[in-house]
Amino acid sequence: MKRTILMTALILVAVTSLKAQDQVDEAKAKFIYNFTKFFDWPQSERTGDFIIGVVGSNNVYRELDGFTEGKKVILQNIEVKKFRNAEDVTECHVLYVSKYRSGDLPEIKKKMTNNTLLISDSRNGIEQGAALNFLLVGNRLKYEFAASNAMSQGLKFSSRIRDMAAKNY
């Protein structure tokens, strides 16, 4: 009897935890899409599809792919690409690197061309060159922003992105 109760409790905790993680991943996808409204890419980057890459998170990739279906960034159709690791990364307008691949940030940063908005999910993402980094504060998703990292990538941004950040560098 005790064993059954313990197993039931463990299953409930696991299911609740998975549901909470799904909600966080959904929120990250919405943030990533909405970040595109606050950055300005050079004219040379406004042709073809608008590419959003995801490194290391199948859930964020699925949420983002579903959420952006049929949406545009200005006049560009959005295409979401999934990358397993740094070696797979190709040119993107936005690149999200999950906490599971945060060790790849230095290699990804070296590989990136200008005009890529790098978003991380790592304690030291800003120090490794990300312009935006996700944080969980309590049970709320927030972000920190490094204007110098965005500018070093050739991106202009609205002051509102700074105003809404939990922390600025």
Radius of gyration of the chain from its Cα atoms, rounded to whole angstroms: 17
Answer yes or no: is 16 within a domain.
Answer: no
| pLDDT given for residue 90 in this prediction | 94
User: How many separate domains does the chain show?
Assistant: 1
pLDDT digits (tens, 9 = 90+) for 46-91: 999 999 999 999 999 999 999 999 999 999 999 999 999 999 999 9
CA separation, residue 31 to residues 25, 143, 148 (Å)? 10, 9, 20
> Do residues 50 and 76 touch, judged by C-beta distance below 8 A?
yes
How does DSSP assign 95-136, residue by residue?
A: EEE-GGGGGGHHHHHHHPPSS-EEEE-STTTTTTT-SEEEEE
| pLDDT given for residue 101 in this prediction | 94
Is the confidence at residue 33, as pLDDT, over 70? yes
Answer yes or no: is 45 within a domain.
Answer: yes
Alpha helices (H) in the chain, listed in sequence order: 2-35, 58-68, 105-111, 147-152, 159-163
Segments forming the whole domain that contains residue 162: 24-168
Is the confidence at residue 122, as pLDDT, over 50? yes
Answer yes or no: is 15 within a domain.
Answer: no
Sign for the pseudo-dihedral over CA of 147, 38, 31, 112 = negative
pLDDT band at 111 (very low <50, low <70, confident <90, very high): confident
Closest CA to 53 of 129, 140, 112: 112
Is the confidence at residue 129, as pLDDT, over 50? yes
Reduced to 3 states, what is the DSSP secondary structure of residue 26? helix
Is the confidence at residue 104, as pLDDT, over 90? yes
Least confident of 20-34, 69-83, 145-159: 20-34
Least confident of 10-24, 50-64, 134-148, 153-167: 10-24
**Stated pTM of the model:** 0.86
| pLDDT given for residue 133 in this prediction | 98
Answer yes or no: is 3 within a domain.
Answer: no
CA separation, residue 82 to residues 25, 45, 155, 168 (Å)? 15, 20, 23, 28
Answer yes or no: is 6 within a domain.
Answer: no
Q: What is the mean pLDDT of residues 118-145?
A: 95
| pLDDT given for residue 152 in this prediction | 94
CA-CA distance, 49 to 14, in Å (whole number)? 39
Answer yes or no: is 78 within a domain.
Answer: yes
| pLDDT given for residue 112 in this prediction | 85
Answer yes or no: is 17 within a domain.
Answer: no
Bridge-based pairing of strands 156-157 and 39-40 is: antiparallel
CATH number reported for the structural domain that contains residue 153 in this entry? 3.40.50.2300
Answer yes or no: is 128 within a domain.
Answer: yes
Reduced to 3 states, what is the DSSP secondary structure of residue 46? coil
